Amino acid sequence: MLNKGCSEEEIFTFFSQKKREDMDHDYILSSMCTIPHPVAVRAHCMFMETNLGDPGLFLGTASLEQLLIERLATLFHLPTAGGYATSGGTESNIQALRLAKVSKQEVVYPNIVVPESAHFSFRKACDLLSLEMRPVPLDRNFRMDAEKAAEQIDKNTICLVGIAGTTEYGMVDPIADLAKIADAQDVLFHVDAAFGGMVIPFLNNPIPFDFALPGVSTIAVDPHKMGMSTIPAGCLITRDPDLLHSLNIDTPYLSVKQEYTLAGTRPGAPVVGALAVLDYLGKEGMRAVVSGCMKNTDRLIAGMELFGIPRAVTPDVNVATFTCRGIPEPWKVSWTRQGHLRIVCMPHVHLDRIEAFLKDTGEMYA
Amino acid sequence: MLNKGCSEEEIFTFFSQKKREDMDHDYILSSMCTIPHPVAVRAHCMFMETNLGDPGLFLGTASLEQLLIERLATLFHLPTAGGYATSGGTESNIQALRLAKVSKQEVVYPNIVVPESAHFSFRKACDLLSLEMRPVPLDRNFRMDAEKAAEQIDKNTICLVGIAGTTEYGMVDPIADLAKIADAQDVLFHVDAAFGGMVIPFLNNPIPFDFALPGVSTIAVDPHKMGMSTIPAGCLITRDPDLLHSLNIDTPYLSVKQEYTLAGTRPGAPVVGALAVLDYLGKEGMRAVVSGCMKNTDRLIAGMELFGIPRAVTPDVNVATFTCRGIPEPWKVSWTRQGHLRIVCMPHVHLDRIEAFLKDTGEMYA
């Protein structure tokens, strides 16, 4: 650290240089985040200094957080559901498992049953919470096998997890079947819809994944992914609005006396950003965005198959995967654990980018 | 959620209304957060869409995170220390305890030894990680009693915790003594300097609390508190730059293959904001800010004592506490668990606000 500070000009010239080392979003095809919507950025800047960790000081911002939760709860077919804004899917998943653990405190060696496709955050959560993770094989379409899931559940199972929009293949697990199993076996059922929660409700034929299914207990959804908000904006939504209070700890010297969140200080800015996008676009606007992403996904798959690069699976949401050796520079894609090429058709991946990528790939494979 | 969206004007008119329900910072005397510095806000906006959770896409932003860690490591007298940007003190403290737990995996019933003044995040962390928390009584100046701490340590102790700038009384525990104890007993020693880490180095007579003491293993410091950055900006700094790798989990389909962070997606914006403040102010600028806060703390204590409202203790950092029955509206203060009035003299609490508060309080007690 320098003794005397630098001028603002020096600092921001340096920052601009550094920013140019970041990848241009024009070439990012691998991310589940995107360029935030302009109304999210405007809202973010307006609420820049707010701290939801001390809600008594920020009553207005805190009421907007509750409004966001209400919007999502209603979208997920249960307006009375509860929840709060997390730092993202990882925190939401950790907290769902904490809720499960505290609800079955009598279990000495608790386990959770998850699909093999579960996001790596479940590994973190199990490590943190000392839970045994029981991975369930997928069917040939990369969806959790519900029958095999049922077989894995025993008296020590505190939570069943299903994924609505898997990170690698964009598949929605058979949530309706899983919900029935969870209900019958009296196990908390957490749906990780971090990605799909802002996609599925806006599809032409939405796949059942939410509180409309009686067995679904909690849902993770990330507005900073397909909700086009700023980072960090995640949400954990709970069927029982009081469930989170089982995680309460005392918080002396704050404006509220207890809290159930994982983080203490929490930014209000991205939370209001998330609300801004939903209210600005409405259902129709979100349907248009999702429809565009799905059309681009279809176009990408069709285009790649013309080059003899077959899809790995037909995805439920806007993630396309292929059996493919490699792709041309400077495109930034990713690869699944099974070695498939993976491309996420986020809102910043406009049709002209898909066409440009197809042109480059076609030349490589010509 | 509405079918058709609202106009941007409608939305932001509503948001403005809501924002007016937030407390005016002119009256917030209870928070350890403050109005972010303008250079932090500018940097935040410039890096709004960056995601440190996928550092291969944001190489420039990721290098600025490393630069922030270097700045703090150097400030804490060990330029080779490692670390990363967390969502705040809670994540930093959880991660420090995870590091401690993984370093002594053979311990079946692990415990941690913390002062009674420890922040409530340690309760969350112990709940998450199934750790026994052993609170150590404070001396009459609200500092951890080092001798009693030593007595609490046994073969199952995985971590000793000291606080550099307690939340309630602004005290610095006897870190030098505790470091010797931890060193002698071969226990990881975590210093929670979430608040004090950006104060103590800039005092006229800095109290030893950092890596200059051989026993200190890890330090939590929050740039979104006295570092005047935007929220969320915390940091965990580790003496051993490779220590964090013991928390690595595999992260397929990301641009890096492993990660040790608690969150997945992580905002780059507040991290660059934190760096902007340090580089803009430099040591001299930070000394001036801290000196102003300490002078205001002294003035507040002197003023209150003139009204017959005695200090609870003479603080080490800019937190003033009093034996007092109540304070006038609309000032927002807080109260410690022992029932003392508590005021944090943050950078937004300018001298004229202290004088206005003293005037109102004086009239109430006249």
Q: Which residues of B touch A344 (CB under 8 A)?
A: none
Q: How high is the pLDDT of residue B262? A: 95
Going by the DSSP 8-state scheme, the letter that residue B198 receives in this structure is G
Rg of chain A in Å (alpha carbons)? 21
φ, ψ dihedrals at A92, nearest 5°: -60, -45
pLDDT in tens, A266-284: 999 999 999 999 999 999 9
Taken in order B48, B49, B51, B56, the sign of the CA dihedral is negative
Which residues partner with A129 through β-bridges? none
Which residues from chain B sit within 8 angstroms of residue A130, using beta carbons?
129-130
Q: Which of B59, B263, B282 sits opposite A1 (nearest CB)?
A: B282
- A333 within 8 A of A325, measured Cβ to Cβ: no
Q: Given CA atoms A331, A337, A341, A343 in this order, what sign does their dihedral have? A: negative
By CA distance, what is B268's nearest residue in A?
A: A231
Nearest-Cα distance to chain B for A150, in Å, is: 27
Q: Which of A93, A45, A35 is nearest to A226 (CA)?
A: A35
Among B181, B184, B29, B190, CA closest to B121: B190
Q: Which of A12, A20, A47, A51 to mutate to test the interface with B (most CBs of B within 10 A)?
A: A51
User: What's the average model confidence in pLDDT over A83-90?
Assistant: 98
Query: Where along chain B do its domains lie?
Result: 19-37+282-365, 38-278
Q: How many helices (H) and strands (E) does chain B have?
A: 9, 12
Mutate to test the interface with A, among B3, B16, B18 (most CBs of A within 10 A): B18
Place of tokens 């949401």: A317
Q: Which CATH number fits domain A22-37+282-365: 3.90.1150.10, 3.90.79.10, 3.40.50.10420, 3.40.50.920?
A: 3.90.1150.10
Greater confidence, A236 or A252?
A236
Q: Do A60 and B21 touch (CB under 8 A)?
A: yes
CA A235-A241-A244 angle, to 5 degrees, is 65
Specify which residues B236 forms β-bridges with. B84, B220
Q: What is the pLDDT of residue B366?
A: 86
Residues sharing a CB contact under 8 Å with residue A14, sequence separation 6 or more, in sequence order: none
pLDDT at position B345, please? 98
pLDDT of residue B210: 98
- What is the C-alpha radius of gyration for chain B, rounded to an integer number of angstroms? 21
The CA distance from A102 to A98, in Å, is: 6
Nearest Cα of chain B lies from the Cα of A248 at a distance, in angstroms, of 9
In angstroms, the Cα distances linking A53 to A257, A313, B344 are: 11, 43, 16
**Could you tell me the sign of the dihedral formed by the alpha carbons of B202, B208, B210, B212, in that order?**
positive
Tell me the torsion sign for CA atoms A70, A71, A72, A76: positive
Q: Which residues of A touch B64 (CB under 8 A)?
A: 15, 18
DSSP B145-194: -HHHHHHH--TTEEEEEEEBS-TTT--B--HHHHHHHHHHHT-EEEEE-T
Q: What is the pTM of this model?
A: 0.97
Asked, as a colleague might, if the bond just before B110 is cis with ω within 30 of 0, I would say no
Tokens of A240: 């029982």
Whether residue B22 and residue A61 make contact (CB cut-off 8 A), yes or no, is: yes
The chain B residue lying nearest A256, using CA atoms, is: B334
Per-residue pLDDT of chain B (366 residues; tens, 9 = 90+): 778 999 999 999 999 999 999 999 999 999 999 999 999 999 999 999 999 999 999 999 999 999 999 999 999 999 999 999 999 999 999 999 999 999 999 999 999 999 999 999 999 999 999 999 999 999 999 999 999 999 999 999 999 999 999 999 999 999 999 999 999 999 999 999 999 999 999 999 999 999 999 999 999 999 999 999 999 999 999 999 999 999 999 988 788 889 999 999 999 999 999 999 999 999 999 999 999 999 999 999 999 999 999 999 999 999 999 999 999 999 999 999 999 999 999 999 999 999 999 999 999 998
Does the beta-carbon distance from B224 to A59 stay under 8 Å?
A: no
3-class DSSP assignment, residue A342: strand
Give the neighbor-by-neighbor strand order of the sheet with B157-163: B82-86, B234-238, B218-221, B188-192, B157-163, B111-115, B132-136
**What is the C-alpha to C-alpha distance for residues B128 and B110, in angstroms, rounded to an integer?**
13
Number of neighbouring beta carbons within 10 Å of residue A286: 23
**Amino acid B297: pLDDT:** 98
Which amino acid appears at position B139 of this protein?
D
Closest by Cα among A199, A183, A179 to A191: A179
On whether the CB atoms of residues A150 and A181 are closer than 8 A, the answer is yes
Alpha helices in B76-120 (DSSP H): 89-103
- pLDDT value of residue A84: 98
Question: What integer pLDDT is reported at residue B2 of this predicted model?
Answer: 78
CB contact under 8 A, B18 and A335: no
CA dist A269 and A262 (Å) reads 18
Q: Strand B82-86 vs strand B258-259: parallel, antiparallel, or unpaired? A: unpaired
CA angle B265/B58/A25 to nearest 5° reads 95
Structure tokens at B125: 């962390």
Residue A253 pLDDT > 90: no
Is pLDDT at A1 greater than 80 in this prediction?
no
By CA distance, what is A73's nearest residue in B? B1
Cα gap B54→B344, rounded to integer Å: 36
Q: Which residues contact A258 (CB under 8 A, 6 or more apart)?
A: A245, A248, A249, A250, A251
Using the beta-carbon criterion (under 8 Å), do B254 and A284 form an inter-chain contact? no
Q: Give A221's pLDDT tier (boundaries 50, 70, 90).
A: very high
Average pLDDT over residues A6-10: 97
Task: Answer whether A278 sits within 8 Å of B1, measured CB to CB.
Answer: yes
Measured between alpha carbons, how far is B246 from B243 in angstroms, rounded to an integer? 6
Which residue type does B53 have? G
What whole-number distance in Å separates Cα of residue B343 and Cα of residue B310? 13
Cα A143 from Cα A164, distance rounded (Å): 10
pLDDT at A252: 84
- A 10 A CB-CB count for A35 gives 15
- CA atoms of A99 and A95, how far apart (whole Å): 6
| Nearest chain A residue (CA) to B79 | A1
Strands (E) in A153-214, as ranges, are: 157-163, 188-192
What does each C-alpha distance from B251 to A124, A131, B24, B254 come to in angstroms?
11, 19, 43, 6
Q: Do B64 and A17 touch (CB under 8 A)?
A: no
CA atoms of B168 and A252, how far apart (whole Å): 9
Mutation target for B interface from A120, A127, A250, A254: give the one with most B CBs within 10 A.
A120
Domain A38-278 = CATH 1.10.1060.10: no
B12, B74, B120: residue with CB nearest A249: B120
Is the CB of A75 less than 8 angstroms away from the CB of B336?
no
> ipTM, 2 decimals?
0.97
CB within 8 Å: A19 and B46: yes
From residue B184, alpha-carbon distances to A149, B22, B107 in Å are 50, 49, 19
CA distances from B348 to A111, A140, A256, B168, B193 (A): 48, 59, 22, 19, 20
Cα dist from A283 to A77, A164, A318, B8, B94, whole Å: 14, 19, 18, 16, 39
10 Å CB burial of residue B20 (0-12, 13-18, 19+) is exposed
Interacting residues of A298 by C-beta distance below 8 A, sequence separation 6+? none
What's the confidence (pLDDT) of residue B254? 81
How far is A113 from A155, CA to CA, in rounded Å?
12
Q: What is the mean pLDDT of residues A111-133?
A: 97
Partner-chain residue, chosen from A1, A124, A231, that has the shortest CB–CB distance to B71: A1
Q: How are beta strands A157-163 and A188-192 bridged, if at all? A: parallel
Contacts of A79 in chain B (CB under 8 A): none
CATH architecture of B19-37+282-365: Alpha-Beta Complex (3.90)
